[in-house]
Amino acid sequence: MSISDELKQAIRERAKYICEYCHSPERLSANRFTVDHVIPKSLGGSDELNNLPLACRRCNERRYNFVAGIDPDTQEIVPIFNPRQQKWEEHFVWLRVLPRKNDPKSKIIR
């Protein structure tokens, strides 16, 4: 079954036009974001709204059809982040660019 344009638009609006995995905004991407499957269709996932996050190309391609990965610290198999069941802020953080001290090229204007 193909995902309708209306459903794709509903997914975009629900996600506020950001990738639901990495939180990159679609407006800063050269490519339009795609609709992904939290549980891939190849593993029995559906085309229902709650299984369809908006994903940037990089996240979509890196996730492929994986539902688990290996934790680099513990070497345990762990489930991949699920934007329908987990809060992004509890698992990830954006790095901030901070100015270097004593560097005249990196001034903070207040």
Which domain does 51 fall in, by range? 5-90
The structure's pTM equals: 0.74
**pLDDT tens for residues 16-43?**
999 999 999 999 999 999 999 999 999 9
In a domain, 101, yes or no: no
Residue 54 lies in a domain: yes
- The answer to whether the CB of 60 falls within 8 A of the CB of 24 is no
Q: Please state the domain count of the chain.
A: 1
pLDDT, tens digit, for every residue of 65-109?
Answer: 888 889 889 999 998 888 888 888 877 777 766 666 666 655 555
Residue for token pair 């609709």: 35
Q: Is residue 56 part of a domain?
A: yes
| 29 in any annotated domain | yes
Helix (H) or strand (E) holding 60: helix 57-63
Check residue 93 and give its pLDDT. Answer: 76
**pLDDT number for residue 83:** 87
- The helix or strand, by DSSP H or E, that contains position 55, with its residue range, turns out to be strand 54-55
Residue 102: per-residue pLDDT: 66
